[in-house]
Structure 1
Amino acid sequence: MATKFFLLLILLSHVASSLSEGCHPQDKKALLQIKKELNNPSLLSSWKPHTNCCDSSWYGVICAPSNNRVYSILFESNDDLAFPFPPSIGNLPTLENILIYNLPHLTGSISHSITKLTHLKSLTISKTGLSGPIPNFIGKLKNLTFLDLSENRLSGTLPPHLFHLPNFEAMYLQNNKLTGSIPSSFARLNSLVVDLSHNRLEGDASMFFGIAKKTETIDLSWNMLAFDMGGLEFPEKLKHLDVSHNRVYGNLPEVVKNLEWLDVSYNRLCGEIPKGGILQALGMSSFSHNRCLCGSPLPSCK
């Protein structure tokens, strides 16, 4: 019995040793430096130097089981943590996903170091104090498919080279302080979701429309955009469209009958609302406060 117990102790010691060494040294070094750059917050108290960073006990760290390299990190907290964007994130070369959420005192701008993350597919930095312009260098992340920079304090214009990305699927930039016109280069964007709502953008936004595009949701509401609605061709898969609280003019094309949701209120539209689909069931609020829009569910045209 004593011999079996001794062998069990040896086995457990080997298991513990393999766990402690399971984390790649470069990744562990980078993570501990990130913790330091964040002023050692209690949120990351589980990040201890003598433990395995690929162990589930390390908050917000996920490693690939095939090679024990970090491919995903998550920071989410209701605490009043105050710190800049940690530049050492760029020292995690196999990182594919970043999610930083609900950190209102995260300050400064996105570090240029993320351009080293050539495998990055998803970048979410939302509900933070992040400020300044959206950096052009995000366009260097050629594998990026998902970008969520919503509900921050981002300002300035949209960088023209931001979305020369071949696999891009979703863009959430709502609830910021973005200004100016939308670059014509955004016509190349062929994502499933576009949300630029609640900013201060102006001018044309027709580049997001087109029958060949794959877009399913477009939300441009609460801006100062002005374009002719009647001259647009809608993406075949478009289901949700919100252009409310803008300066959109023209008439509503017949194709809006194919949508599952529509809000064009508070614009400068005219003409009769097409009949069919869900349009009449949407109610007056989806069409109200336009220059001369008429027909059910608004009062009839004279």
Structure 2
Amino acid sequence: MTTSSTPKSHPLLVFSFLLLLLGRSSLAKKERCHPEDKRVLLKIKKAFNDPYILTSWIPDAIGDLPYLQNIFFHKLANFSGPIPYSITKLKYLKSLTISWVNLTGTIPDFLGQLKNLTYLNLSFNNLTGPIPTTLSQIPNLGYIGLDRNKLTGTIPASLVNPKSPPYLILSHNQLSGEIPSSFGDVDFGKIDLSRNKLRGDISMLFGRNKTTQIMDFSRNMFEFNMSNLEIHPSLTFLDLNHNKIYGSIPDVMTQLELQGFNVSYNRLCGKIPQGGTLQTRFDYSAYFHNRCLCGAPLNITC
């Protein structure tokens, strides 16, 4: 892998692989790295006590690669620690993935300084505290993945930008409160808020003009009337299990080509609409433990 000091360099940087390359004498002989980039990468390698692969923490020297566009840390053993402030020097950074690496501390406010960031994935770590409102200062952030952490507090109303319809993945945290009403103006690509402590009415996230494909709100405390939901045909996955949703399943559900569907453990009543994939693709487990649902595939007559 080569590096250079132009804004177009570093199409993808996987540090465990880069540092492995730097450890080989053949790379040093061929001088395939730009001298300055090589100096910084060797400095980073030295910060890890010259390991064969990356196994410790994110060093401050990462900020000395000013034209870096992509960072990818994923499933690295014995990796821990916070995100260093020096990352704010990476003005061209577009994609930041630090997942499955035991990242600790809070999500730093200074990430909002990464104005060119379009993809943020900090999933499967041990991050605590609230979601910083400064993330709203990143104008084109189209993917926000903060799932599988220990985040608390409410979801900031300004977190997503309606002009950059995002994938918002916040599942498996300890978030609480209601979903901001401003989210009703956003056409999400995917939204997953499952397994939190969220409550309130989320019906504003549905609509004929919403082209969202995947919606997972399971295992929260959401409470709204499902009877009159308007849903765009693009929806392929809807999971609402373990909430406090009432009313009936709307007939529009029969018009969807659903790959996933679950409304179990709610307060729904009435006859399950017949048609589409509601009976052919999903068995009774997608509907049971409701107040008074009836009809196939439940063995309850109406």
> Given the two structures, how large is their TM-score scaled by the length of structure 2?
0.74
Shift of 1:292: 3.6
Which of 43, 46, 50 pairs up with 1:40? 50
Q: CA deviation digits over 1:182-213, x for unaligned, max 9?
A: 12222536433100000000011244733x53
Shift of 1:214: 3.8
The answer to whether 1:275 aligns with 2:275 is no
Residues 214 and 39 (structure 1 numbering): CA distance in 2 closer, same or farther, change over 3 Å? Answer: farther
Shift of 1:280: 8.5
The answer to whether 1:107 aligns with 2:80 is yes
1:92 is aligned with what amino acid?
L
Distance 1:277 1:291 in 2: 18
Give the aligned CA root-mean-square deviation in angstroms. 2.8
Report the counterpart of residue 178 of structure 2 in structure 1.
Answer: 204
Moved over 4 A (4+): 16-19, 231-235, 278-285
The answer to whether 1:84 aligns with 2:94 is no
Distance 1:40 1:293 in 2: 64
Report the counterpart of residue 251 of structure 1 in structure 2.
Answer: 225
The 10-residue stretch of structure 1 (163-172 or 242-251) with the greater mean CA deviation from structure 2:
163-172
Instruction: Note the 1:137-286 alignment, pairs <5 A.
Output: 137-188=110-161, 190-207=164-181, 209-210=183-184, 212-234=185-207, 236-252=210-226, 253-256=228-231, 258=233, 259-277=235-253, 286=262
| More strand by percentage | 1
The 10-residue stretch of structure 1 (143-152 or 252-261) with the greater mean CA deviation from structure 2:
252-261
Distance 1:148 1:17 in 2: 31
1:193 is aligned with what amino acid?
Y
Shift of 1:39: 2.3
Distance 1:215 1:280 in 2: 18
Shift of 1:277: 3.8
Q: CA deviation digits over 1:32-62, x for unaligned, max 9?
A: 011111222212xxxxxxxxxxxxxxxxxxx
Which of 267, 272, 281 pairs up with 1:291? 267
Q: Which runs of 5+ in 1 are unaligned?
A: 1-15, 44-74, 76-80
Contact 2:231/2:252 (<8 A) preserved: no
Q: CA deviation digits over 1:225-275, x for unaligned, max 9?
A: 112133445462211100000010011242236321100000010001111
Shift of 1:216: 1.1
Distance 2:200 2:211 in 1: 21
Report the counterpart of residue 29 of structure 1 in structure 2.
Answer: 39
Q: Which protein shows a greater Rg? A: 1
Contact 1:131/1:152 (<8 A) preserved: yes
The 10-residue stretch of structure 1 (180-189 or 128-137) with the greater mean CA deviation from structure 2:
180-189
Alignment partner of 1:241: what SS? Answer: strand
Alignment partner of 2:200: what SS? Answer: coil
Residues 99 and 187 (structure 1 numbering): CA distance in 2 closer, same or farther, change over 3 Å? Answer: closer
Alignment partner of 1:42: what SS? Answer: coil
Distance 2:259 2:58 in 1: 45
2:173 is aligned with what amino acid?
N
Alignment partner of 1:226: what SS? Answer: strand
Residues 268 and 42 (structure 1 numbering): CA distance in 2 closer, same or farther, change over 3 Å? Answer: same
Report the counterpart of residue 93 of structure 2 in structure 1.
Answer: 120
Q: CA deviation digits over 1:55-78, x for unaligned, max 9?
A: xxxxxxxxxxxxxxxxxxxx6xxx
- How many residues are aligned here? 249
Q: Which runs of 5+ in 2 are unaligned?
A: 1-25, 273-277, 279-286, 288-292, 296-301
1:134 is aligned with what amino acid?
I
Distance 1:219 1:17 in 2: 44
The answer to whether 1:93 aligns with 2:69 is no
